[in-house]
Amino acid sequence: MSDLLVQLFAEILELPEEDFSDDTAPENTPKWDSLASMSLVSGMEDRFDVEFSTMEIMKMRNLGITRKILTQKGVSFEAE
Amino acid sequence: MALVANADKRAVSEAKSAWRAHQKAVKSGEVKTNYSIGLAGSFTVESLEPFIGSTILASGFKPTIKIAAYNQLFQVCLNHTNHFSGKLDCIIIIWRIEELLANEFKDFISGKPEALQKAKDTLAEFSAAISSLRESFKGFLIVSTPPYPQDTTTFVNWNNSSTGAAFFFKTLSLKWAELLAAKEQVYILDLDLLQRISGMDSIFDARKWYLYKQPYKDLFLLQLGLAISRLFNARYMVPKKCLVMDCDNTLWGGIVGEDGLEGIQLGQGFPGSVFQDIQQMALNWREQGISLALLSKNNEGDVKQVFLNHDGMILKWQHISAWQINWQPKHENIKEIAKDLNIGVDSLVFLDDNPYEIAQMQEYCPKVTSIQVPEDPAFYPAMLAGITCFDKLETTTEDLKRASMMQAEQDREQVRNSMSSQTFLESLDLRVTFFTPQQQHIERVAQLINKTNQFNLTTVRRNSEEVQAIFADTSYRIYCIQIDDRFGEYGLTGVAIIKLDIAKKVSHLDTFLLSCRVLGRGVEGAFISAIAKDMDSLGITSMKGSFIATKKNSPAKSFLPDHGFTLQKSTNWLATIADIPPTPEYITIKALLG
């Protein structure tokens, strides 16, 4: 599974893309701490040109939910 | 507007990826870091790392950044090695009232005026902690000012006499400024000013504040990074020495050769007032030791007439240290200006309104920093104020004297041209004062060590802290010379550092340098002879020296063989103290040894 979102997560968390699935979450990914979470939010806002509400950020408990929130905002992740 | 916003966004993401790429290269061993920064903040400062890192990277450093735990500033100050492991070159401390004085601030704005005194006490303790850090840490220390508080819940009472939050902020800012002013070698990052420049409405990200205790948007963090890199450049880059200015449409509006003295725009009213502001800025730089020069395609008489007779002129003819006013190409003329001032063309900043002249200069003389006057005069002063290449952290009294000394150099040059060199030297009435430096000289000594390129045997660079350490070390001797002649005084212009081995009766000439202002007068002979005399009095019988060739230090090349040293191996030379020749006869030397 690889798309622009996974690429971004892999880049920021410095992990191989194949390590990611929709279940990837802070609980099973030690590098996803609160500082990384802040970088992920900035990174997604920069790359996909969106802005999250604080509640949305709170809800992003794993990669799957995060993808869903972005999709709702009309973002598509197809790798070019 | 959208265009600007996009450019900002791009700058932010470029900074992040540059830093990420650097970190990757460091991890893989591809890049070795050469500069280590410790960062401590009262809020979460991790997000600042890529912005400090990338801008400092762009200045040519290979930094690594270590971050102390959240809001532990006192602990960091009192024991920095606990918080930053390994070698450390710089510590940056950033704090805000909202965290460091959180309780005092809350109490004060909820109607407890006694909290102000408590806050002042905490601040005094923090200041003492900074002083203790300054003592235990030898590197570059940067401390922020407190920015205007973010919380605006009591806006209506914000500036209300002595009970509002603004009063609290202003009182503590002033207190902090007073406390910092009393410290040496603590450099200020004006976080409050940066907030004002960017505007408080546009810098905060409330989401990040509530979720991560990090108050700022990325774009502001980038500005913060740039401000820190400006401090870095001011400390580590060699500052420019001379502003070379065109005249027409650069120092005044219009063209004097066509519009005449009465026709040029200079004085009250736009755009004449702009040019007066520009002249004032040039004059301020001159007062900081930057020389001013004119480079104009004009008749010299026309330009001189403006300087002498136009009552709108802020700059006077005596402020100009060198000039080339003729019809020759500027990229050739500028070399003459450099020669007249005895500095390199890479020390020059060229200001002109004509894009052609700027392009020519960049093409033929790329070492000169060329700056184009903006088309709309209204933006000219702000553009010029933004120039960073004259930045310098300490203005020593030597710098203040430099501009007028450079002019005296020109008078000397005139005399030199009219005489043979021996009679010239004899006519100078050179007086050299030879002395061991006191504490107040150390800053100047460090400055010379860091910027002298030409007459420098070893070009060993050392920062103020390292010089301070040598100053305190009894196995070293530092010697200085100060020079006067009939044209004026050159100030402290020569430094030597000698490592002593009294037991073996040998000494090692670690550093020997002369400022380019005093070259070609034989004062180096007087200097080494005075050192030899002092060595002899210490029972030292020989001196080792070395000459390490660089691109610029050829003026020092023959110094060792000319002064009794013989070549041993590769760059190593040796002299018997008795073989070092005496002071040249035309120099009067006075030794003041402490």
Say yes or no: B580 and B563 in one domain.
Answer: yes
Compute the distance between CA of residue B366 and CA of residue B347 in angstroms, rounded to an integer: 12
Question: What beta strand segments (E) does B401-537 contain?
Answer: 430-435, 455-456, 476-485, 488-501, 506-514
Chain A closest-CA separation from residue B245 CA (Å)? 43
For position B399, what pLDDT does the model report? Answer: 54
Q: A 15-74 residues with CB below 8 A of B?
A: 34-35, 37-39, 41-43, 46-47, 52-54, 57-58
Task: Give the range of the structural domain holding residue B468, as residue numbers without chain letter.
Answer: 407-592
Helix (H, G, I), strand (E, B), or coil: what is residue B93?
strand
CATH code assigned at B377: 3.40.50.1000
Beta-bridge partners for B483: B432, B491
For position B169, what pLDDT does the model report? Answer: 92
For position B407, what pLDDT does the model report? Answer: 58
Whether B246 contacts B352, CB under 8 Å: yes
Say yes or no: B158 and B143 in one domain.
Answer: yes
Max CA separation in chain A (angstroms) = 31
For position B464, what pLDDT does the model report? Answer: 86
Locate A78 and state its tokens: 């197809």
DSSP line for A17-64: GGG--TT--GGG-TT--HHHHHHHHHHHHHHHT----HHHHHH--SHH
Locate B349 and state its tokens: 């900043």
CB-CB under 8 Å, B9 with A38: no
Say yes or no: B191 and B262 in one domain.
Answer: no
CATH code assigned at B575: 3.40.630.30
B398 belongs to a structural domain: no
Q: What is the pLDDT of residues B451-468, one digit of tens each?
A: 888 899 999 999 888 999
Q: Which of B16, B47, B206 sits opposite A38 (nearest CB)?
A: B47
Say yes or no: B341 and B426 in one domain.
Answer: no
Say yes or no: B294 and B155 in one domain.
Answer: no
B531 belongs to a structural domain: yes
B396 belongs to a structural domain: no
| Other CB atoms within 10 A of residue B438 CB | 10
Whether B115 contacts B107, CB under 8 Å: yes
Q: Which of A34, A39, A57 sits opposite B207 (nearest CB)?
A: A57
For position B60, what pLDDT does the model report? Answer: 84
Say yes or no: B349 and B434 in one domain.
Answer: no
Say yes or no: B219 and B296 in one domain.
Answer: no
ipTM beyond cut 0.90: no
CATH code assigned at B165: 3.40.50.1110
A47 vs B contacts (CB less than 8 Å): 13
Whether A44 contacts B194, CB under 8 Å: no
B372 belongs to a structural domain: yes
Say yes or no: B423 and B373 in one domain.
Answer: no
Say yes or no: B356 and B485 in one domain.
Answer: no
Paired sense of beta strands B348-352 and B430-435, if any: unpaired
Q: B 189-218 residues with CB below 8 A of A?
A: 206-208, 210-212, 214, 218
Q: Of B214, B236, B258, which closes a domain?
A: B236
Which ranges constitute the DSSP H helices of B310-349?
Answer: 330-341
Q: Of B236, B257, B285, which closes a domain?
A: B236
B393 belongs to a structural domain: no
Q: Which of B20, B210, B218 sits opposite A42 (nearest CB)?
A: B218
Whether B518 contacts B482, CB under 8 Å: no
The residue behind tokens 């050769």 is B257
Please count the structural domains in chain B.
3
For position B405, what pLDDT does the model report? Answer: 63
Planar angle of CA A24, A26, A30, nearest 5 degrees: 100
Give the burial class of B375: count Cβ atoms within 10 A of its Cβ; 0-12 exposed, 13-18 middle, 19 or more buried: exposed
Max CA separation in chain B (angstroms) = 82
CB-CB under 8 Å, B211 with A57: yes
Say yes or no: B322 and B202 in one domain.
Answer: no
Say yes or no: B312 and B214 in one domain.
Answer: no
CB-CB under 8 Å, B20 with A54: no
For position B127, what pLDDT does the model report? Answer: 92
A11 CB within 8 Å of a chain B CB: yes
B211 vs A contacts (CB less than 8 Å): 34, 38, 54, 57-58
Q: Of B211, B236, B261, which closes a domain?
A: B236
For position B268, what pLDDT does the model report? Answer: 85
Residue B271 φ/ψ, nearest 5 degrees? -90, 5
Chain A closest-CA separation from residue B72 CA (Å)? 17
Q: What is the pLDDT of residues A20-76, one digit of tens each?
A: 999 999 999 989 988 899 999 999 998 899 999 999 999 999 999 999 999 999 998
Give the burial class of B542: count Cβ atoms within 10 A of its Cβ; 0-12 exposed, 13-18 middle, 19 or more buried: middle
Angle between helices A4-13 and A63-72 (to 10 degrees): 130
Q: Which residues contact B80 (CB under 8 A, 6 or more apart)?
A: B38, B88, B91, B133, B136, B137
Q: What is the pLDDT of residues B40-55, one digit of tens each?
A: 999 999 999 999 999 9
- Length in residues, chain B: 594
For position B1, what pLDDT does the model report? Answer: 38
CATH class, domain A4-72, is: mainly alpha
B341 belongs to a structural domain: yes
Say yes or no: B261 and B333 in one domain.
Answer: yes
In chain B (594 residues long), the average pLDDT of successive 10-residue segments reads 69 92 94 94 94 91 92 90 90 95 90 92 92 91 94 58 83 94 90 93 91 93 94 86 96 92 91 96 93 94 94 95 93 94 94 91 92 94 91 63 61 59 76 92 90 89 91 94 82 94 94 84 92 94 93 86 92 94 91 80
CB-CB under 8 Å, A34 with B212: yes
